[in-house]
Amino acid sequence: MAKEALIVIDIQNDFCPGGALAVDNGDEVVPIINRLIQQFDHVILTQDWHPAGHSSFASSHSGKAPFETIAMPYGEQTLWPDHCVQGTQGAEFHPGLEWTKAELIIRKGFRGGIDSYSAFFENDHETPTGLAGYLRERGIAKVTLAGLATDFCVAYSALDARKQGFDATVVLQACRAIDLGGSLAAMTQRMKAAAVELV
């Protein structure tokens, strides 16, 4: 049977209640994900890892507020509150996450001029993180995704997994959404259309 990996997306303090870009009830997924981690032989984590002054931060653009959008060379970019800045407590994994079993941590969003939602590619959809190559070299053909947020980093990662030829499942119970202007419904539809299994 093809080997499977669990990809845990961005379970970081800034995405949990009290954080700079908190997802409602984001911390509720931690015990569910801890159980999933125990069930998989291969566990990979992603970590949003922005330099200070990142181009996706509203604070980097005069007169712009969080959740407005701007045009970037690679397309439309939602502007965010400053979050997951390298080396800060907000960028650390949630203290309840039992992640020591992880064999790989993919850091994303560390290039100052481009944001990165997906575990596989920067937001230009061209610059790879190296994850697809790692999975192929390890003989892993199927990925299960969980984490934050359903409609951004989880969904983009699942869509890219399918584009790269991997079977992809999203455990919805182990995700929470931002739901910005109907983004949850839109991304759920896109995942279904791409044959991502939603369980």
Alpha-carbon distance values, 9 to 53, 63, 127, 137, 161 (Å):
23, 31, 19, 21, 13
Q: Mention every residue, 6+ apart, whose C-beta is less than 8 A from residue 118.
A: 108, 125, 129, 153, 156, 157, 159, 160
Treating both helix axes as pointing N-terminal to C-terminal, what angle do 183-193 and 155-163 enclose, rounded to 10 degrees?
Answer: 20
- Active-site pick, 27, 48, 108, 175: 108
- Active-site pick, 10, 14, 27, 48: 10
Rounded CA separation 90/131 (Å): 24
**CA-closest candidate to residue 45, choices 19, 12, 21, 15:** 12
Alpha-carbon distance values, 52 to 70, 77, 85 (Å):
19, 17, 6
Rounded CA separation 88/49 (Å): 10
Respond yes or no: is residue 153 known to be catalytic.
yes
- Active-site pick, 16, 84, 153, 175: 153
Rounded CA separation 109/97 (Å): 21
Active site residues: 10, 108, 153
